[in-house]
Amino acid sequence: MGKISPLMIAPPLVFAGFVALAAFGMFRADPEGLPSTLVGQMAPALPEKPLEGFPAAAPDVLTNGEVTLVNFWASWCPPCRAEHPQLLDMQAQGLSIIGVNFKDLVGAASNYLTDDGNPFEGVAFDPQGRTAINWGVTAPPETFIIAGDGTVLFRYAGPLVGSDYEQRFLPALQDALGN
């Protein structure tokens, strides 16, 4: 009998490691949710500079006593375009929504809101993505539910469409609104 080469054992061990990691990821409490260290904390500052041609977010918008949504978006983002009708509908229902346009060009972002409608009460401009980093945004779109005192209540990563939106975001929004 010959010796078993370590090179023959390595592939099955690597495969077993990947299986263990996949199993861990699948059976954690909320495989769809991304943890946010902001939940329960005061919301970070919004950019003071508005998107050119659009109203700025009022300095006290996150602490004015009303539930507010903060939506990070970009004109180049297809999922942002998919959720846009939902944002317009929420605005029509009287929800206060602040848009933070990030890593975008002024002209492209302005044209997008002009052509497709502006669901935002204020449009902050974050061309370098620095504010997005402070908020822990990984990719657009992401939406935060902010209590009237400025506390982050909920973070939703992804477009506000589909069953995940209905099963996770809407109940969190209803709770925040006291409905």
pTM of the complete model: 0.80
Name the pLDDT band for 18 (thresholds 50, 70, 90): low
Sign of CA dihedral 43, 48, 53, 54: positive
Name the pLDDT band for 179 (thresholds 50, 70, 90): confident
Nearest to 68 by CA among 52, 46, 84: 46
Whether the Cβ atoms of residue 57 and residue 129 lie closer than 8 Å to each other? no
Domain boundaries, given as residue ranges, for the chain: 31-177
- Distance CA(71)–CA(87), nearest Å, equals 9
Domain 31-177 adopts which CATH fold?
Answer: Glutaredoxin (3.40.30)
